[in-house]
Amino acid sequence: PPLRCSILRHRATATIRGQSVRSRPRAAPRQPRPGAAANVPAEAERPLAELLRHQDARVRRAVTRALGRIESTFTTEALARSAIDGAPTVRLEAVAALSARRIGRAGSILAEAIDDETDPEVQYALLAALGRMGTAEAVKKLAKAAEAAGGFFQTKKDVGLRIAAIQALGEARTP
């Protein structure tokens, strides 16, 4: 069994090094659960947010994820900048981070972001996030997205996006 092998390996290593042998190896320090708000000093937020200007989208996405785990007004504003980033992966990460924040300006940032979004995957994520928010502004945007395009010669809205908006309205529990 793997556990027995690790204990034997620990005892052998301790004996070779001349250390006292413990009956069990020490447990690894507990890591905070994923998504938990990190205790980050305020002076660390600014250098982290400056990395949102990095040229590599992977770096900006990772920074956006890290900023999403820090609850402060400064990081909310930094996430607002990520929500309009040029890379869809960064915008998706920003939507996920902002949708986890139920208070503050997060709902209005998401409602503003849906107006100019062109990537379908980000649009679906924005609609779902607005449904989870359930604010009056979010419901107004969802209702607009769920409407059919009027007139015979006008361009048709994507049916999938309309259905996603209707589902999000249901999740928002609107009357």
> Do 44 and 63 contact (CB within 8 A), yes or no?
no
Specify the pTM: 0.69
Q: Match 């205790």 to its residue by tokens.
A: 39
> Do 63 and 87 contact (CB within 8 A), yes or no?
no
Tokens of 72: 């402060």
Q: Which mean pLDDT values do the consecutive 10-residue runs of the chain (175 residues) have?
A: 56 63 51 52 80 90 90 87 90 90 80 86 88 83 77 62 81 72
What is the signed CA dihedral for 50, 54, 57, 63, rounded to 10 degrees? -30
pLDDT for 113 equals 87
pLDDT for 47 equals 85
pLDDT for 16 equals 61
Q: Among 81, 87, 85, 86, which residue's Cα sits nearest to residue 67? A: 81
* Integer Cα distance of 119 and 137 in angstroms: 22
> Do 67 and 48 contact (CB within 8 A), yes or no?
yes
Tokens of 8: 């034997």
pLDDT for 89 equals 92
Q: Among 91, 124, 121, which residue's Cα sits nearest to residue 109? A: 91
Identity at 60, one-letter amino acid code: R
